[in-house]
């Protein structure tokens, strides 16, 4: 029987890792968080970690912020011309 690798992230560390790479997709998040190609085990553990904190997710995209979505889709950043002029 195969034992899962011990370097798989759990809990808040898993959530932080998954959130940091969520915009790159499920496979990349799975790999970066120590689950190799086992996307099912990764998402199950992520879902449990989120539920323990009262966070409900249905996909990895739930961890992508609106700001990240705008950047990825080529949104426009609005900022003043300088620190003293709008």
Indicate the domain borders of the chain. Answer: 11-72
User: Nearest 5 degrees, angle CA 42-CA 58-CA 16?
Assistant: 50
Instruction: Write down the pLDDT at residue 82.
Output: 75
Q: Please give the pLDDT value at position 80.
A: 76
Rounded CA-CA distance 74/13 in Å is 29
Q: State yes or no: pLDDT of 63 exceeds 60.
A: yes
Axis crossing angle, helix 39-52 with helix 11-21, rounded to the nearest 10: 120
* pLDDT value of residue 79: 72
Find the range with the poorest average confidence among 16-20, 23-27, 46-50, 78-82: 78-82
Q: How far apart are CA 49 and CA 34, in angstroms?
A: 15
């Amino acid at each position: 029987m195969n034992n899962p690798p011990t370097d798989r992230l759990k809990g808040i560390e898993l959530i932080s890792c998954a959130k940091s790479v969520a915009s790159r997709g499920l496979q990349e998040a799975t790999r970066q968080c120590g689950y190799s190609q086992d996307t099912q085990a990764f998402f199950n553990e992520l879902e449990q970690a989120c539920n323990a904190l009262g966070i409900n997710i249905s996909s990895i995209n739930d961890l992508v912020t609106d700001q990240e979505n705008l950047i990825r889709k080529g949104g426009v950043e609005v900022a003043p011309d300088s620190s003293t002029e709008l």
